Amino acid sequence: GAGVSQSPSNKVTEKGKDVELRCDPISGHTALYWYRQSLGQGLEFLIYFQGNSAPDKSGLPSDRFSAERTGGSVSTLTIQRTQQEDSAVYLCASSPPGRRGSKYEQYFGPGTRLTVT
Amino acid sequence: SQKIEQNSEALNIQEGKTATLTCNYTNYSPAYLQWYRQDPGRGPVFLLLIRENEKEKRKERLKVTFDTTLKQSLFHITASQPADSATYLCALANTDKLIFGTGTRLQVFP
Protein backbone atom coordinates (compact mmCIF):
# COMPACT_ATOMS: atom_id res chain seq x y z
CA GLY A 1 0.00 0.00 0.00
CA ALA A 2 0.91 3.66 -0.01
CA GLY A 3 3.64 4.79 2.31
CA VAL A 4 3.97 7.98 4.31
CA SER A 5 3.83 11.02 2.08
CA GLN A 6 5.02 14.54 2.79
CA SER A 7 4.57 17.81 1.02
CA PRO A 8 6.15 19.89 -0.24
CA SER A 9 9.33 17.99 -0.97
CA ASN A 10 11.29 21.24 -0.97
CA LYS A 11 10.49 24.62 0.49
CA VAL A 12 12.53 27.78 0.24
CA THR A 13 11.31 30.67 2.35
CA GLU A 14 12.54 34.02 3.53
CA LYS A 15 13.52 34.60 7.11
CA GLY A 16 10.53 35.72 9.14
CA LYS A 17 7.90 33.97 7.02
CA ASP A 18 5.64 31.19 8.30
CA VAL A 19 5.69 27.73 6.70
CA GLU A 20 3.41 24.71 6.87
CA LEU A 21 4.63 21.19 6.24
CA ARG A 22 2.20 18.36 5.65
CA CYS A 23 2.34 14.66 6.47
CA ASP A 24 -0.03 11.92 5.34
CA PRO A 25 0.65 8.79 7.42
CA ILE A 26 -0.02 5.22 6.40
CA SER A 27 -3.72 4.43 6.70
CA GLY A 28 -4.51 2.74 10.01
CA HIS A 29 -1.35 3.90 11.74
CA THR A 30 -2.22 5.42 15.07
CA ALA A 31 1.10 7.02 15.97
CA LEU A 32 2.66 9.92 14.08
CA TYR A 33 6.03 11.53 14.70
CA TRP A 34 7.86 14.59 13.44
CA TYR A 35 11.66 14.76 13.38
CA ARG A 36 14.21 17.24 12.16
CA GLN A 37 17.49 16.24 10.55
CA SER A 38 20.23 18.77 9.96
CA LEU A 39 23.17 18.08 7.68
CA GLY A 40 25.36 15.40 9.21
CA GLN A 41 23.20 15.20 12.31
CA GLY A 42 20.96 12.54 13.75
CA LEU A 43 17.22 12.71 13.84
CA GLU A 44 15.96 15.19 16.40
CA PHE A 45 12.56 14.31 17.84
CA LEU A 46 10.04 17.15 17.67
CA ILE A 47 6.53 15.93 18.49
CA TYR A 48 4.52 12.71 18.78
CA PHE A 49 0.81 12.01 18.36
CA GLN A 50 -0.80 8.79 19.55
CA GLY A 51 -4.46 8.28 18.77
CA ASN A 52 -6.65 10.77 20.61
CA SER A 53 -4.16 11.38 23.41
CA ALA A 54 -2.58 14.75 24.01
CA PRO A 55 0.55 15.07 21.87
CA ASP A 56 4.02 14.83 23.33
CA LYS A 57 5.52 18.19 22.43
CA SER A 58 8.67 17.80 24.47
CA GLY A 59 10.97 18.02 21.46
CA LEU A 60 9.71 21.27 19.97
CA PRO A 61 12.68 23.68 20.04
CA SER A 62 10.68 26.86 20.56
CA ASP A 63 7.16 28.23 20.69
CA ARG A 64 7.51 29.13 17.00
CA PHE A 65 6.96 25.44 16.27
CA SER A 66 3.54 23.82 16.52
CA ALA A 67 1.81 20.82 15.02
CA GLU A 68 -1.67 19.44 14.78
CA ARG A 69 -3.20 16.22 13.63
CA THR A 70 -6.71 16.32 12.26
CA GLY A 71 -9.04 13.35 12.48
CA GLY A 72 -6.27 11.10 13.66
CA SER A 73 -4.70 11.17 10.21
CA VAL A 74 -3.06 14.08 8.38
CA SER A 75 -0.65 16.24 10.36
CA THR A 76 0.66 19.73 9.76
CA LEU A 77 3.86 21.12 11.26
CA THR A 78 3.89 24.91 11.36
CA ILE A 79 6.97 27.04 11.87
CA GLN A 80 6.28 30.70 12.50
CA ARG A 81 8.73 33.51 11.86
CA THR A 82 11.29 31.15 10.37
CA GLN A 83 14.96 31.59 11.18
CA GLN A 84 17.98 30.40 9.23
CA GLU A 85 18.73 27.80 11.88
CA ASP A 86 15.38 26.19 11.06
CA SER A 87 16.86 25.02 7.75
CA ALA A 88 16.83 21.22 7.82
CA VAL A 89 14.99 18.20 6.51
CA TYR A 90 11.74 17.63 8.36
CA LEU A 91 10.75 13.98 8.48
CA CYS A 92 7.43 12.48 9.41
CA ALA A 93 6.94 8.87 10.49
CA SER A 94 4.00 6.72 11.48
CA SER A 95 3.66 3.49 13.44
CA PRO A 96 1.00 0.79 13.42
CA PRO A 97 -1.04 -0.01 16.50
CA GLY A 98 0.38 -2.61 18.31
CA ARG A 99 1.14 -6.03 19.06
CA ARG A 100 4.17 -6.44 21.25
CA GLY A 101 7.13 -4.52 19.85
CA SER A 102 5.65 -3.63 16.54
CA LYS A 103 4.34 -0.29 17.58
CA TYR A 104 7.88 0.95 17.71
CA GLU A 105 8.60 0.26 14.06
CA GLN A 106 8.45 3.59 12.34
CA TYR A 107 7.75 4.17 8.68
CA PHE A 108 9.21 7.38 7.38
CA GLY A 109 8.18 9.71 4.63
CA PRO A 110 10.70 11.20 2.19
CA GLY A 111 10.94 14.43 4.16
CA THR A 112 10.58 18.11 3.36
CA ARG A 113 13.80 20.02 2.81
CA LEU A 114 13.33 23.49 4.27
CA THR A 115 15.74 26.26 3.36
CA VAL A 116 15.39 29.62 5.09
CA THR A 117 17.20 32.41 3.28
CA SER B 1 21.83 12.54 29.76
CA GLN B 2 21.04 9.73 27.33
CA LYS B 3 23.66 9.27 24.69
CA ILE B 4 23.90 7.04 21.63
CA GLU B 5 27.21 6.70 19.85
CA GLN B 6 27.79 5.43 16.37
CA ASN B 7 31.08 5.69 14.57
CA SER B 8 30.94 8.94 12.65
CA GLU B 9 33.69 7.83 10.31
CA ALA B 10 32.60 6.01 7.19
CA LEU B 11 33.18 2.29 7.02
CA ASN B 12 34.70 1.19 3.71
CA ILE B 13 34.74 -2.51 2.91
CA GLN B 14 35.15 -4.71 -0.10
CA GLU B 15 32.23 -6.48 -1.71
CA GLY B 16 31.67 -9.94 -0.27
CA LYS B 17 33.07 -9.12 3.15
CA THR B 18 31.06 -8.78 6.34
CA ALA B 19 30.34 -5.25 7.48
CA THR B 20 30.03 -4.69 11.22
CA LEU B 21 28.60 -1.47 12.61
CA THR B 22 28.55 -0.54 16.28
CA CYS B 23 26.02 1.27 18.42
CA ASN B 24 26.89 2.13 22.02
CA TYR B 25 24.65 3.87 24.50
CA THR B 26 24.89 5.33 27.99
CA ASN B 27 22.48 6.48 30.68
CA TYR B 28 19.67 4.49 29.15
CA SER B 29 17.91 1.16 29.55
CA PRO B 30 16.10 0.53 26.30
CA ALA B 31 13.48 -2.16 25.98
CA TYR B 32 13.93 -2.17 22.22
CA LEU B 33 16.71 -1.40 19.83
CA GLN B 34 16.17 -0.84 16.12
CA TRP B 35 18.31 -0.41 13.05
CA TYR B 36 17.36 1.71 10.06
CA ARG B 37 18.92 2.33 6.68
CA GLN B 38 18.96 5.80 5.17
CA ASP B 39 19.89 6.63 1.60
CA PRO B 40 20.76 10.19 0.54
CA GLY B 41 17.68 12.36 0.15
CA ARG B 42 15.35 9.75 1.59
CA GLY B 43 13.76 8.95 4.93
CA PRO B 44 15.09 6.09 7.06
CA VAL B 45 13.82 2.59 6.34
CA PHE B 46 13.20 0.14 9.17
CA LEU B 47 15.38 -2.99 9.06
CA LEU B 48 15.32 -4.90 12.32
CA LEU B 49 14.04 -4.65 15.87
CA ILE B 50 15.52 -6.55 18.79
CA ARG B 51 14.15 -6.70 22.33
CA GLU B 52 16.17 -6.43 25.50
CA ASN B 53 15.66 -10.11 26.30
CA GLU B 54 16.92 -11.19 22.87
CA LYS B 55 20.61 -11.67 22.24
CA GLU B 56 20.50 -11.93 18.47
CA LYS B 57 18.14 -11.40 15.56
CA ARG B 58 18.63 -12.34 11.93
CA LYS B 59 16.97 -11.36 8.70
CA GLU B 60 18.43 -12.60 5.43
CA ARG B 61 22.01 -11.23 5.29
CA LEU B 62 21.49 -9.04 8.36
CA LYS B 63 22.28 -9.92 11.95
CA VAL B 64 21.85 -7.75 15.03
CA THR B 65 23.13 -8.45 18.52
CA PHE B 66 22.06 -6.66 21.69
CA ASP B 67 24.23 -6.78 24.81
CA THR B 68 22.49 -4.91 27.64
CA THR B 69 25.49 -5.45 29.94
CA LEU B 70 27.93 -3.82 27.54
CA LYS B 71 25.20 -1.40 26.41
CA GLN B 72 26.05 -2.18 22.83
CA SER B 73 24.49 -3.44 19.65
CA LEU B 74 26.37 -4.79 16.67
CA PHE B 75 24.87 -4.78 13.19
CA HIS B 76 26.33 -7.18 10.65
CA ILE B 77 25.79 -7.41 6.91
CA THR B 78 27.24 -10.59 5.50
CA ALA B 79 28.29 -11.00 1.86
CA SER B 80 28.06 -7.23 1.47
CA GLN B 81 27.16 -5.72 -1.89
CA PRO B 82 27.65 -2.23 -3.34
CA ALA B 83 23.85 -1.83 -3.04
CA ASP B 84 24.28 -2.02 0.75
CA SER B 85 26.08 1.32 0.67
CA ALA B 86 24.04 3.72 2.81
CA THR B 87 23.94 5.28 6.27
CA TYR B 88 22.79 2.97 9.03
CA LEU B 89 21.09 4.39 12.11
CA CYS B 90 20.48 2.71 15.43
CA ALA B 91 17.58 3.81 17.59
CA LEU B 92 16.58 2.99 21.13
CA ALA B 93 13.20 2.99 22.85
CA ASN B 94 11.64 2.15 26.14
CA THR B 95 8.60 4.30 25.64
CA ASP B 96 6.79 5.25 22.48
CA LYS B 97 9.62 7.53 21.43
CA LEU B 98 12.77 6.52 19.62
CA ILE B 99 16.14 8.12 20.24
CA PHE B 100 18.35 7.94 17.16
CA GLY B 101 22.08 7.82 16.79
CA THR B 102 23.76 9.97 14.17
CA GLY B 103 24.43 6.98 11.94
CA THR B 104 27.43 5.37 10.28
CA ARG B 105 27.96 5.57 6.55
CA LEU B 106 28.85 2.28 4.92
CA GLN B 107 30.54 2.18 1.55
CA VAL B 108 30.92 -1.20 -0.16
CA PHE B 109 33.24 -1.11 -3.12
CA PRO B 110 33.55 -3.74 -5.85
Chain A residues near residue B43 by CB distance under 8 angstroms: 4, 91, 93, 108-111
Q: Which of A48, A105, A108 sits opposite B43 (nearest CB)?
A: A108
Percentage of residues in chain B having pLDDT higher than 70? 100
- Those of residues 18-57 in A touching chain B at CB distance below 8 A are 31, 33, 35, 40-43, 45, 48, 50, 56
The three-state DSSP-derived secondary structure of chain A is CCCCEEECCEEEECCCCCEEEEEECCCCCCEEEEEEECCCCCEEEEEEEECCCCCECCCCCCCCEEEEECCCCCEEEEECCCCHHHCEEEEEEEECCCCCCHHHCCEECCCEEEEEC
Does B96 touch chain A if contact means CB atoms closer than 8 Å? yes
Residue B1 has pLDDT above 80, yes or no: no
Residue pLDDT tens, chain A, 117 long: 589 999 999 999 999 999 999 999 999 898 999 999 998 778 999 999 988 888 999 999 999 999 999 887 999 999 999 999 999 999 999 998 876 665 678 999 999 999 999
What pLDDT, on a 0 to 100 scale, did the predictor assign at position A100?
60
Q: Which residues of B touch A33 (CB under 8 A)?
A: 97-98
Residues of B in contact with A43 (CB under 8 A): 44, 89, 100
Confidence at residue A94, expressed as pLDDT on a 0 to 100 scale: 93
